[in-house]
């Protein structure tokens, strides 16, 4: 039977796991005489020969409903206090074989604690959703699998019981063999993290929390990285008919995939590939060459750290190589799900980069930020081990990444919020490695660690304004401090997207006193003009300011303010009498509201409008007057 191998594995697998969270309850079934869970047969059970029972070797609890009458057997926990801690997770390992119904998990807050059939059936049992994999029906896996950690923090009470239910009709065709091992309820994973900690202190506290994870093998006949992907990177295909590999290099969320991979069957067979869709392999999102690494798990634990290992199309993986992930300008190659490879369009870097699709940029950014925390004690030494890694790493154990790359990761993190799938993957890894990616659970930690004032800008910009003077625009800005400030480059745009340089003003280098700057733009265009500053350090590091706008009118008889606007827009009309019509339209040209007035000053309440760009068409009785454009915030 295949389960013997898995039983041995799980005994090894749980060693030294979960030193960080509080263990609310644990049962490993290694000592059958001391097992705290009890079997109860329901009244519908007609097969006394098949009950939940303990197997001292390999130390599991098992049941097999083949033969005999119908089965309904429950395995019920001792009483558990769910009010002492917070943030509880349920974790267990399992092996199943043959066909038949899955086991079911329940909890009860009114079970009497008397392990009798009557008391079992008088209690209210609430379902806990699980999603076990059909191990026995897959020829490519024969090990126990840990189920992804299940959030049970919503369960409250001082007298809570948990239960496993096994049902079968008594026929071989609808019965199933199950083994259960290492049931744990863990709590308060982040309990030692103070809510007042920020910056480097918070980062180091998180390092101490997620350090020393359980290391699995990269390739082994026991549970290895390949096997872990049956837990961490499994999804239903587009037709919801079968489970396939979740490949972020080929998946098209919301659309048809160009190809699909089956776990095990389509695993990398070695050799060269010249196109997509042939095999999948294991991609180190943070390339192993950046740490000079190989397969030396006692030292090189990141080699098998499944937080940074994802299944990926082999061809795309080879093309990505060890290039940084960043924004591509004009791509040299575009892959079937629109991932790209080509020269960087990310400010501060111009070499070749790989750009994933938008749906996974935040996922990948949080993996890189996880690396900065998990390997805080090593990562500063990796800076010069690889030229591309050197482009990204800065040799500082706190900042970890060069400014341009850290800014990019934070922007990706902010633009692509944590998804349910990402949370599920974090829970799955928790059940295997015993540690979590804190930026999936607490996205706010990113700003708390790496954003001003923790990481001061090279220049502290205290003001930046654009003023209209006659037919020119005066840009004025000031700084309260400067570090290695080489110069400012002023930029102008007509649409707020494409900017052109207006020239540069030298910086003060290093300063701790107020510095004031100005530049006169002598030829602004009619309509909107947008301005921003690029600030460059002596080492080429660059930051970009916010955008300031100003509007030049040919016809100044009608003006409005403020812009952008939050609640109320004011319009002043100095034309010579008559009724004017004001039509408010969205950026698709649809009229939202229409107002007619002859008053020289009107107020329009915009509270009901969603944020975005809008236009006001102004008409007199017989002619078009002008268009006003505003942004609702």
Same domain, 236 and 170: no
Same domain, 387 and 298: yes
Q: Answer yes or no: is pLDDT of 124 > 50.
A: yes
- Asked which of 356-370, 426-440, 565-579 is least confident by mean pLDDT, the reply is 565-579
Last residue of some domain: 494, 520, 551?
A: 551
Same domain, 367 and 287: yes
> Is 447 inside a domain boundary?
no
Rounded CA separation 493/496 (Å): 5
Same domain, 277 and 369: yes
pLDDT at 576: 61
Q: Is 240 helix (H, G, I), strand (E, B) or coil?
A: coil
- Residue 443 and residue 422 in contact, taking contact as beta carbons nearer than 8 Å: no
Q: What is the CATH number of the domain that holds 483?
A: 2.60.40.10
pLDDT at 616: 84
- Residue 404 and residue 393 in contact, taking contact as beta carbons nearer than 8 Å: no
Name the nearest CA neighbour of 22 among 89, 103, 107, 106: 89
- Mean pLDDT, all residues of the chain: 88
Last residue of some domain: 388, 410, 428?
A: 428
Q: What is the CATH number of the domain that holds 587?
A: 2.60.40.1930
Confidence of residue 294 (pLDDT cuts 50, 70, 90): low
Q: What's the DSSP call for residue 370?
A: H
Q: Answer yes or no: is pLDDT of 94 > 90.
A: yes
User: Model confidence over 375-407: pLDDT tens digits?
Assistant: 999 999 999 999 999 999 999 999 999 988 998
Q: Answer yes or no: is pLDDT of 18 > 50.
A: no
> Is 451 inside a domain boundary?
no
Which has the higher per-residue pLDDT, 487 or 456? 487
Which has the higher per-residue pLDDT, 239 or 4? 239
> Is 181 inside a domain boundary?
yes
Same domain, 130 and 176: yes
The string of DSSP codes covering 217-235 is: BSS-SSSBHHHHHHHHSEE
Which has the higher per-residue pLDDT, 196 or 546? 196
> Is 453 inside a domain boundary?
no
pLDDT at 581: 85
Same domain, 219 and 99: no
Report for 53-67, 261-275, 475-489: range of highest mean pLDDT: 261-275
- Asked which of 100-104, 109-113, 213-217 is least confident by mean pLDDT, the reply is 100-104
User: Model confidence over 460-489: pLDDT tens digits?
Assistant: 777 888 887 767 888 999 887 788 889 999
Same domain, 60 and 114: yes
- Residue 364 and residue 356 in contact, taking contact as beta carbons nearer than 8 Å: yes
pLDDT at 5: 32
> Is 435 inside a domain boundary?
no
Name the nearest CA neighbour of 587 among 608, 611, 564: 611
pLDDT at 17: 41
User: Model confidence over 173-216: pLDDT tens digits?
Assistant: 667 889 999 999 999 999 999 989 999 999 999 999 999 899 99
Cα dihedral value 27, 32, 38, 43, nearest 10: 140
Same domain, 591 and 569: yes
> Is 370 inside a domain boundary?
yes
Q: Report helix angle 420-433 to 225-232, nearest 10.
A: 140
Last residue of some domain: 428, 444, 468?
A: 428
Q: What is the CATH number of the domain that holds 146?
A: 2.60.120.260
Tokens, residue 323 = 């290039």
Question: Whole-model pTM?
Answer: 0.73
Same domain, 114 and 75: yes
> Is 323 inside a domain boundary?
yes
Q: What's the DSSP call for residue 214?
A: P
> Is 334 inside a domain boundary?
yes
Q: Answer yes or no: is pLDDT of 2 > 50.
A: no
Rounded CA separation 105/216 (Å): 28
pLDDT at 57: 83
Q: Is 495 helix (H, G, I), strand (E, B) or coil?
A: coil
* Extended beta strands in 80-233, E state: 89-97, 104-108, 126-128, 145-146, 150-151, 161-168, 177-187
Name 571's bridge partners. Answer: 560, 602
pLDDT at 470: 65
Same domain, 377 and 246: yes
Same domain, 311 and 356: yes
Same domain, 538 and 403: no
Max CA pair span of the chain: 99
Domain count, the chain: 4
Q: Which domain holds residue 490?
A: 459-551
């Amino acid at each position: 039977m295949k389960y013997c191998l898995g039983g041995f594995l799980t005994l090894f697998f749980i060693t030294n796991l979960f030193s960080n969270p509080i263990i609310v309850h644990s049962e490993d079934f290694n000592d059958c005489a001391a097992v705290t869970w009890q079997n109860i047969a329901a009244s519908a059970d007609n097969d006394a020969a098949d009950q939940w029972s303990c197997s001292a070797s390999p130390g599991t609890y098992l049941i097999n409903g083949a033969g005999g009458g119908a089965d309904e057997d429950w395995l019920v926990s001792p009483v558990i206090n769910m009010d002492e801690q917070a943030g509880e997770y349920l974790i267990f390992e399992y092996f199943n074989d043959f066909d038949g119904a899955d086991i079911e998990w329940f909890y009860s807050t009114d079970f009497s604690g008397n392990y009798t059939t009557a008391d079992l059936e008088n209690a209210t049992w609430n379902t806990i959703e699980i999603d076990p994999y059909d191990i026995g029906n897959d020829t490519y896996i024969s090990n126990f699998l840990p189920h992804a950690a299940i959030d049970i923090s919503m369960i409250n009470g001082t007298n809570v019981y948990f239960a496993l239910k096994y049902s079968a009709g008594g026929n071989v065709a609808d019965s199933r063999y199950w083994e259960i091992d290492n049931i744990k309820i863990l709590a308060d994973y982040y309990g030692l993290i103070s809510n007042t900690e920020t910056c480097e202190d918070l980062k180091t506290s998180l390092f101490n929390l997620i350090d020393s994870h359980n290391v699995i093998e990269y390739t082994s006949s026991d549970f290895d990285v390949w096997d872990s992907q049956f837990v961490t990177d499994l999804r239903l295909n587009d037709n919801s008919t079968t489970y396939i590999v979740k490949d972020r290099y080929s998946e098209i969320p919301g659309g048809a995939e160009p190809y699909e991979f089956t776990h095990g069957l389509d695993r990398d067979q070695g050799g060269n590939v010249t196109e997509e869709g042939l095999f999948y392999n294991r991609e180190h999102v943070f390339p192993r060459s950046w740490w000079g690494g190989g397969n030396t798990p006692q030292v090189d634990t990141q080699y098998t750290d499944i937080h940074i290992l994802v299944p990926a199309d082999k061809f795309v993986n080879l093309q990505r190589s060890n290039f940084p992930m960043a924004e591509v300008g004009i791509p040299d190659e575009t892959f079937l799900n629109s991932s790209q490879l080509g020269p960087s369009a990310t400010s501060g870097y111009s070499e070749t980069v790989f750009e994933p699709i938008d749906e996974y940029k935040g996922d990948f950014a949080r993996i890189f930020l996880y690396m900065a925390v998990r390997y805080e004690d090593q990562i500063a030494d990796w800076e010069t081990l690889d030229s591309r890694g050197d482009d990204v790493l800065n040799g500082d154990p706190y900042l970890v990444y060069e400014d341009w790359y850290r800014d990019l990761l934070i922007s990706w993190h902010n633009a692509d919020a944590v998804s349910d799938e990402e949370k599920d993957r974090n829970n799955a890894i928790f059940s295997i490695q015993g540690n979590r990616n804190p930026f999936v659970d607490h996205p706010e930690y990113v700003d708390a660690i790496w954003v001003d004032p923790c990481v001061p800008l090279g220049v502290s910009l205290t003001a930046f304004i654009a003023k209209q003077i006659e037919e020119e625009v005066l840009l004025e800005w000031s700084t309260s401090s400067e570090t290695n400030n080489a110069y400012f480059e002023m930029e102008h745009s007509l649409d707020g997207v494409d900017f052109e340089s207006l020239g540069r003003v030298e910086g003060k280098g290093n300063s701790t006193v107020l510095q004031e700057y100005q530049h006169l733009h002598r030829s602004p265009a009619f309509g909107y003009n947008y301005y921003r500053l690029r600030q460059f350090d002596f080492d080429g590091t660059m930051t970009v300011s916010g955008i300031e706008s100003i509007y030049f009118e040919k016809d100044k008889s009608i003006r409005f303010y403020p812009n952008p606007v939050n609640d109320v827009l004011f319009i002043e009309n100095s034309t010579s009498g008559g009724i004017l019509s004001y039509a408010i339209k969205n950026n698709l040209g649809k009229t939202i509201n229409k107002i007619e007035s002859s008053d020289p000053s009107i107020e329009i309440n915009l509270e009901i409008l969603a944020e975005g760009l809008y236009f006001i068409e102004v008409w007199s009785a017989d002619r078009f007057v002008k268009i006003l454009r505003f942004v609702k915030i």
